Structure 1
Amino acid sequence: MPALYTAIEGQSADMRSHLMKRNLTVNHTQAVTLGVIGVYVVVIALLWNIPYVRWSLWPFKMLVIAFHEFGHAITACCTGGKVKSISLDPHEGGVTHMQGGISAITLPAGYLGSSIIGALLIFAGFDIVASKVASIILGVCFLLTLWWARRDWLTIVTVLLAVGLLVACWFIAHGEALRWVVLFIGVMSALYSVWDICDDLILRKVNSSDASVFARKYGGSSQCWGVIWSIISLLFMIVGIVGGIAAFQQSFSQQQEDSKHFIPT
């Protein structure tokens, strides 16, 4: 019995060591994905602030603003409220008209909701099949957004273009292009809340932001709540990256092979 117990303990130790090694080791495919995420962050940061060139990001900005408004809308529904409409503004703004709901949840849900969506898309962006699943879920979210925004042409066009892009990427290299697009949208959405909070509350000090309204209702300063929400948003992004590394160990060739058997195109 002591020998058997020792053998079991040895196997358990080997298994724990193997799992730790699996979770912490970054293979070539994951290293490339991390490098692409880093490039995305730098490129988005540059394009976000360079005059005229920043317009190249405009379609994606409108998309992540739609995520922001979707966060308000879905939490309003989940807390007993009713969504009357969603609309996007050509000057990179948006508004969700809702009635009822718990404002302590619905107000931060715009920034944090887009951050959660971004983190989930980053997580899915580590794998082709996961990106396909994520695009299907996004399609459902887009349908809800279209229902709430059925009177706003800009929201409708933005959502339809996003759906068209995702569908087109399904047919490129068995969905491999979809993986990089999903990853880009995820990084953009995860960082949008951070940059938007800094822009509204630090650089311009906008009085009508979600954080300003939250501060008037529940105390504190808008800058304080903005910093807290920004930190939470960054944590969501980190969790998405770590989760992707831990969950998806397949190489590029393995991912393509798996993708051929999941809703093949």
Structure 2
Amino acid sequence: MNEAQIAFLVLYLIYISIVVVFHNTFVMKPFRLLTTFLHEMCHAIACWITCGSVEAIRVYDNEGGVTSYYGGCRLLIIPAGYVGAAIWGSIFVMFSGGRKTATGAAGTLISMLLISLCFAPNRTMVGLNLFYAIVTGLFIYLEWYVFTPILGYVVLFYGAFVGIGAVEDVYQDTVKRTVLRSDAYACYEICPCCLPRCFGIQWAACTIVLQVAGALIAMMQLSNRCENVGWWECLSGDGELENKIWRWEQQAAQNWVHR
């Protein structure tokens, strides 16, 4: 591993340790509320994708939330909360390794925060969304005009917390106990052949796999073979060839100067 990969891995493990130790403390409540927002927003996104209509998106101070909608495919909308939050956690971790990708992830988060304010939000959600939109926007400004790298560290923390928070929520709400009003129980009512805890175990496994996949892809992006190439070229395997061409051009330019 190169220095960038070691730094990423150490920082990621530190973030994971912080999240695990302090997850249920008052200090982390703003981040738990962010996880709740992403949970509800993913319900709304799944509703829109399946041609439904969203009436309201709300997050409450007790860390609960509700998305009011009609139409759409309930069998896809209901699990989208837990699984969707895990996907966003994975995306934040995955995109934290590059300056442009981290900016894209942060910009997407700001867009979701602001768009959701158009759907009858309550007071807690308005304050939460405006706070995170302003803070995340400030870090984007600092990254591009004051100091770099800083945004990647912030996006990585978002990803670590949201990903681990999704695992914790799935375990507490669907695996450890059966809550009659939980998403897992709602899926059980639609599909009685699978018990609520069975749904929860599947979602928990999915959240863990997504978080690990995000970290592995970020490590790949920071590898030597992906240096000086685009994100997609890195993942598709074309990055190694392009990187060799770039190094050959650099060496040829140096040899020309020496002559």
TM-score (norm 1): 0.79
Q: Does 1:174 align with 2:147?
A: yes
Aligned to 1:262: none
- Indicate if the aligned counterparts of 1:87 and 1:155 stay in contact, CA closer than 8 A: yes
Query: What is the CA RMSD across the aligned residues, in angstroms?
Result: 1.7
Deviation at 1:204, TM superposition (A): 4.5
- Indicate if the aligned counterparts of 2:110 and 2:132 stay in contact, CA closer than 8 A: no
Of residues 214, 219, 227, the one that matches 1:240 is 214
**Secondary structure in 2 aligned to 1:233?**
helix
Relative distance call for 1:202 and 1:236 in structure 2 (3 A) is closer
Relative distance call for 1:65 and 1:156 in structure 2 (3 A) is same
**Secondary structure in 2 aligned to 1:174?**
coil
Aligned to 2:132: 162
Deviation at 1:175, TM superposition (A): 4.3
Letter in 1 for 2:131: L
Deviation at 1:205, TM superposition (A): 3.1
Q: Deviations over 1:95-140 (max 9, x none)?
A: 1001011011101100111111111100111122221121112222
Distance 1:207 1:39 in 2: 36
Distance 1:47 1:206 in 2: 25
Deviation at 1:34, TM superposition (A): 1.2
Distance 1:151 1:66 in 2: 11
Aligned to 1:196: 169
Deviates more, 1:239-248 or 1:111-120: 239-248
- Indicate if the aligned counterparts of 1:77 and 1:101 stay in contact, CA closer than 8 A: yes
Letter in 1 for 2:134: G
Aligned to 2:248: none
1:32-51 alignment runs, 5 A limit: 32-49=7-24
Letter in 2 for 1:117: W
Distance 1:232 1:91 in 2: 26
Of residues 79, 91, 115, the one that matches 2:62 is 91
Q: Deviations over 1:50-78 (max 9, x none)?
A: xxxx0101111111111111110011011
**Secondary structure in 2 aligned to 1:83?**
strand
1:1-265 alignment runs, 5 A limit: 26-49=1-24, 54-148=25-119, 150-170=120-140, 171=142, 173-219=146-192, 220-249=194-223
Distance 1:139 1:224 in 2: 34
TM-score (norm 2): 0.81
Q: Which runs of 5+ in 1 are unaligned?
A: 1-25, 255-265
Distance 1:197 1:115 in 2: 10
Letter in 2 for 1:179: G
Distance 2:175 2:42 in 1: 23
**Secondary structure in 2 aligned to 1:90?**
coil
Deviation at 1:165, TM superposition (A): 1.4
Deviation at 1:201, TM superposition (A): 2.7
**Secondary structure in 1 aligned to 2:166?**
helix
Relative distance call for 1:175 and 1:155 in structure 2 (3 A) is farther
Distance 1:27 1:239 in 2: 19
Relative distance call for 1:240 and 1:203 in structure 2 (3 A) is same
Aligned to 2:249: none
- Indicate if the aligned counterparts of 1:132 and 1:175 stay in contact, CA closer than 8 A: no
